[in-house]
Structure 1
């Protein structure tokens, strides 16, 4: 504690005491805010805390101070601001200090191998990256920092290329401008998984003091350096080498949504010879406010984020368009489709549909070229469409398709593959795809290259990506997936989500929208359970996680999955269903089948959401 000789601080403490007495803030928020007003190490934030108190912003004060922003299994992500439940230099510094303490446990060699840091175009990303570097250097850890913003997949590549023991990305991915984050990668280039994630969390929670060193001094001591441009060149060359066909006769539109994609996707497409490429100039400038994106929300999963790109595509009569999120690991895809009546429209493809298209394209080209390995492996998460597995197996590929949500689990499978197996492709429904193993996270640049080639080949056949998707549905059946997000806020929101999950476990619904629940798969318990008796039917392997799957068909293709988000304050419902498609079904009849299937699946998802709300 500092000696309180400033009358303003006394006044703020008195107001804080009064706010607690009047029930405006909790005891936890009071204690934390008091510390941030008076602690010597937190002097930088005193005026911001005082402003919240002076302006009686007690709701914000409560949310910002009632708890510490969790350092989850991948790192920290949240709203920027003052307080322990916000992203700021203190919480970023604590994250770096905890990581440094964990690395130090592995000895001098680990510290010398060091950590590489990248950051995206978000507000304060560069500042947070430099702050992290100062903390690492203060702990005697060799640190490499990208001079300018770079994509998350390039950071993953850099970890492997430089041989560092860990990597850090400063980004909040596709979140709104108010957010930022701190994500940790381990020596294989994948996000941290057990046991490293839990051990790092434990160290972060112990942090009291930050050990820091000026970067110029660290550079003189050989502890700090900037990443060479050769890393950029090697990464772009490796992605370009994944090309499967030479056809480049396709018209493309691309927007990085003010993010880092201009350093990865754009140079890959140019290097590989795609000359008919049109850029959304209004969204090219790096800007953490995302000024020219609808609602300033740079999430390619949302149709509104691709509005300007679609407008340009119409103007130039493009064949396919891409958008990428700020750290360029997710790729949004849309294509032109002409129906049998000659009506052209732009179709935004979801992550499951793109995963299906890429699985088929990669499988077919490798088979045509005689390069399909005897034991090739396709990997997906449990909420990603089962159609990926069906297609992969049709090409004779092995599948790992029951992973928890998060690309880090795909990276873990790649790392643990036996020598006689070869990774072919990985996909997750939230616009994440990976081909090649030199990156161990989803990579929008790789996906853009392969999709551009696929679109070019289909154009030569007078077909679109959407046409080919429909032909795959006729071959394998109509697979449909649906996502519903329910946002929560504050301590009560978090508690309500916990009650929902506990309630669904204790009293699982016996049916959803009139359809019987055959079994409930509880990934936390590692068991499939009979909903009527709650007895275990069989064990379920794999990493444990807070996920429940309500299975509605014997083939398990029809189901609804519920899980709390690991990166945002929300609970997520994933619906999945499959219907047979007759080969002689007309276009109109097929569209009718799609609509009926969508209605059925939506009823199941809404039914589970209602059941969860009852228990919350």
Structure 2
């Protein structure tokens, strides 16, 4: 994809979302359940859409929230539900709609004090904290209203069961099917309490998500080392829900931390445009992070989170770290510094860098490779089989010092603070620590490509089997492995991964766009990577034929 002329620049006025138009469409436009694109559909991170496209309207939220209530009833989940919300315009509207349904169904809902924004990881941590020591009755779960780093016109809805992490496919399939049943009947069986009455009802309790998360941080991060080092830190919440967290963290622990951007505006007019010219609050994109990158010489370390704070972006004086690089350095550091951890290993999605394979071997730790989606790490973080779980899209979490789970969802602030701890205790920032890895294992080259693919091609790729793959060499080397199921848990990839001695590629269909995502990595050089990409795209062309 060519770089858009607006990439890295602040958006023009005519690029900003018209919030009143977005709100009007949310409340007055209705989805057509007979149109597949307008039905409730859970991807790897919940249901997402826009009110302007009839894919995220009040009727969707009524239906899917009632479906969650139905699921709770079927499963006997009778504890409180923690309800979180990010800073997207549609999130505020959907928060109110969800609250109307939850209270009407008699669900005890915990919401943030003073209508504060609520990051995904604080909801996960709250669920785990509540459920600790509880078995059977009284278990809590949660909903987070967020489309993550998606553009300002989008909305999103995620459900986290009592394990605290993203719901697995069985759960989301059930909820989506039930929600679409409600939509097909005009939501006639959806129970609704007027928002004013809902807020005043006995079913709503204010909860200080921020205080619980911030006070517990010494269980998982060496906050004393960061404070004592005096390293100069900067953070840009990118207009998202992590802002109240950073304010509290800096104050509670006396960090030399500057919040360089305190703006919250649903147009996200202060975020520089991404590679394609769209406003996208992606903290792993150098284009969206351009303003923070301009400040990198003024601080020892800088970082950012996306609007719901489940992703991290790490900036050193050398620039924005590739997520794969940081995750590799983080894994190496964590297993050397957490001597009370159980014998678990490193969890990674199968499209995350092979550098983690080398780190695991060096540490004598098992590597658990799973399909794309953080939900796959939940049981491994709970059991300690994985002490650290990560994915290439800048999402990760890890265990507390004592080996208990901190969060079972992606945690952006946690990984940002880990970067500060690494810098404070090693006297080297994470990019310098990654360079030490490359001196031992080589410097891999990694790139993701997007290939156009219609619905039939995406379907064929989802159901592909090793015997269907006619590729025998990759980048000039014999193919050593063809995977359609993840080695770590045997779950279907929903695509394939082809490996050779010095590189690999993986291809999987997008759940929201007419594209296939093609991930490639070489442990040689750029020229070898291009050769791998040519072989991968040639295979995709044959699949398209």
TM-score band by shorter chain is: 0.7 to 0.9
1:285-300 equivalences in 2 (<5 Å): 285-295=263-273, 296-300=279-283
Change over 3 Å in CA distance of 1:262–1:66 after alignment to 2: closer
| 1:442 aligned to which of 397, 410, 420 | 410
Aligned to 1:80: 51
Q: What displacement does 1:322 show?
A: 0.8
Q: What displacement does 1:562 show?
A: 0.5
CA offsets 1:448-475 (integer angstroms, 9 cap, x no match): 11111222345x4xx5433321221112
The answer to whether the 8 Å contact 2:344/2:386 transfers is: yes
Q: In the alignment, is residue 301 of structure 1 matched against residue 273 of structure 2?
A: no
Structure 2: stretches of 5+ with no match in the other structure: 1-23, 132-138, 274-278, 400-404
In structure 2, C-alpha distance between the alignment counterparts of 1:291 and 1:190, rounded to whole Å:
31
The answer to whether the 8 Å contact 1:352/1:429 transfers is: yes
In structure 1, C-alpha distance between the alignment counterparts of 2:374 and 2:311, rounded to whole Å:
11
SS of residue paired to 1:478: coil
CA offsets 1:57-111 (integer angstroms, 9 cap, x no match): xxx999987652423464201233253xx1111112211121111112134xx2x
1:348-387 equivalences in 2 (<5 Å): 348-366=320-338, 371-373=339-341, 375-387=343-355
Change over 3 Å in CA distance of 1:148–1:456 after alignment to 2: same
CA offsets 1:104-139 (integer angstroms, 9 cap, x no match): 2134xx2x4132210100012111011011112222
| 2:58 aligned to which of 81, 85, 89 | 89
Aligned to 1:409: 376
**Structure with larger Rg:** 1
In structure 1, C-alpha distance between the alignment counterparts of 2:171 and 2:538, rounded to whole Å:
37
CA offsets 1:247-288 (integer angstroms, 9 cap, x no match): 42322221111111212245335433321x33323xx21122
Higher RCO, 1 vs 2 (CA within 8 Å, ≥6 residues apart): 2
SS of residue paired to 1:424: strand
CA offsets 1:467-495 (integer angstroms, 9 cap, x no match): 3212211123333332223466xxxx434
In the superposition, the TM-score normalised over structure 2's length comes to 0.82
Change over 3 Å in CA distance of 1:373–1:472 after alignment to 2: same
Aligned to 2:395: 432
Aligned to 1:19: none
Aligned to 1:469: 434
1:226-241 equivalences in 2 (<5 Å): 226=206, 228-229=207-208, 231-241=209-219
Deviates more, 1:434-443 or 1:509-518: 509-518
CA offsets 1:347-398 (integer angstroms, 9 cap, x no match): 22111111111112222223xxxx2446143222222123224324433433
Q: In the alignment, is residue 140 of structure 1 matched against residue 140 of structure 2?
A: no
1:10-409 equivalences in 2 (<5 Å): 67-72=38-43, 74-81=45-52, 83=54, 86-107=55-76, 110=77, 112-146=78-112, 147-163=115-131, 164-207=139-182, 208=185, 209=187, 210-218=190-198, 222-226=202-206, 228-229=207-208, 231-244=209-222, 246=225, 247-275=228-256, 277-281=257-261, 284-295=262-273, 296-314=279-297, 316=298, 318-336=299-317, 346-366=318-338, 371-373=339-341, 375-400=343-368, 402-409=369-376
Change over 3 Å in CA distance of 1:545–1:95 after alignment to 2: farther
The answer to whether the 8 Å contact 1:151/1:263 transfers is: no
RMSD value, Cα: 3.0
| 2:499 aligned to which of 551, 555, 569 | 551
Change over 3 Å in CA distance of 1:242–1:221 after alignment to 2: closer
SS of residue paired to 2:293: helix
SS of residue paired to 1:190: coil
Matched residues, number: 493
Aligned to 1:33: none
| 1:521 aligned to which of 462, 483, 488 | 483
The answer to whether the 8 Å contact 1:172/1:181 transfers is: yes
The answer to whether the 8 Å contact 2:26/2:57 transfers is: no
| 1:451 aligned to which of 419, 431, 444 | 419
In the superposition, the TM-score normalised over structure 1's length comes to 0.73
Change over 3 Å in CA distance of 1:265–1:395 after alignment to 2: farther
Aligned to 2:521: 576
In structure 2, C-alpha distance between the alignment counterparts of 1:485 and 1:44, rounded to whole Å:
31
The answer to whether the 8 Å contact 2:463/2:495 transfers is: no
| 2:510 aligned to which of 550, 565, 568 | 565
In structure 2, C-alpha distance between the alignment counterparts of 1:44 and 1:172, rounded to whole Å:
17
The answer to whether the 8 Å contact 1:549/1:562 transfers is: yes
Q: What displacement does 1:195 show?
A: 3.4
SS of residue paired to 2:52: coil
In structure 1, C-alpha distance between the alignment counterparts of 2:488 and 2:229, rounded to whole Å:
46
